[in-house]
Amino acid sequence: MTPNQQSDAALALCRMAPVIPVIVVDDLSHARPLAEALVAGGLPVLEVTLRTDCALDAIAAMAEVPGAVVGAGTVLTAAQMKAVKDAGARFAVSPGATAALLDAARVEELALLPGAQTCSEVMALLEQGYHVQKFFPAESIGGAGALKSIGGPLPQVTFCPTGGITPELAPGYLALPNVACVGGSWVAPKALMQAGDWAQITDLARGAAGLAR
């Protein structure tokens, strides 16, 4: 899979819903009901971050849920890239990009959202064929205004901004022509997961799925 093909696949995923839930699973028993709740609310593309010991098992469990398209976030190394593919991930997301990470994603044939912050980083990835990228940490580095400015000289790059985005801020990003979707953690809050309130999570997902692009 070439970088251009990886970006094409990533763009198709980004267009499935306006929000990709960014998920931290602390308790493996939450994985399947959480995925079911999010899919029921209209958010099929799920990013499980590699920030907990059970993350790989959570990916495997969620991948079994009908309608769920599960990927891995916070992928930092080539070894992690292989591990998430083996667990059933269909895409990978990274806060940045290294040569080793990009090589591993090509070998594993995973759709990839490599992270970039600056025009130089965006251009370096574009030069390799990555025309769909993650903008992270979005709110800390200028937010929607920064992405709008980047879109001037680099309109051929499409982004999934992530980091500090709330339901109130999301529409400002989604209104931009160079944004395909946003990543957000607000649809899977820890408190609701611990309470097992999957119905409320479905309601949050439904609200996110209804955001205009």
- Active centre residues (catalytic): 47, 134
For 157-166, b where at least 16 C-beta lie within 10 A, e where not — what string? bbbbbbbebe
Q: Which two tokens stand for residue 182?
A: 């946003």
The CA distance from 210 to 30, in Å, is 24
- Token pair for 164: 């500090």
| Exposure string for 69-84, b = 16+ CB within 10 A, e = fewer | bbbbbbbeebebbebb
Tokens linked to 85: 């593919």
| DSSP secondary structure string for all residues of 44-62 | -EEEEES-STTHHHHHHHH
Distance CA(147)–CA(152), nearest Å, equals 9
Pairwise CA distance, residues 25 & 56, whole Å: 10
**SS3 helix, strand, coil % of the chain, rounded to 5?**
45, 15, 35
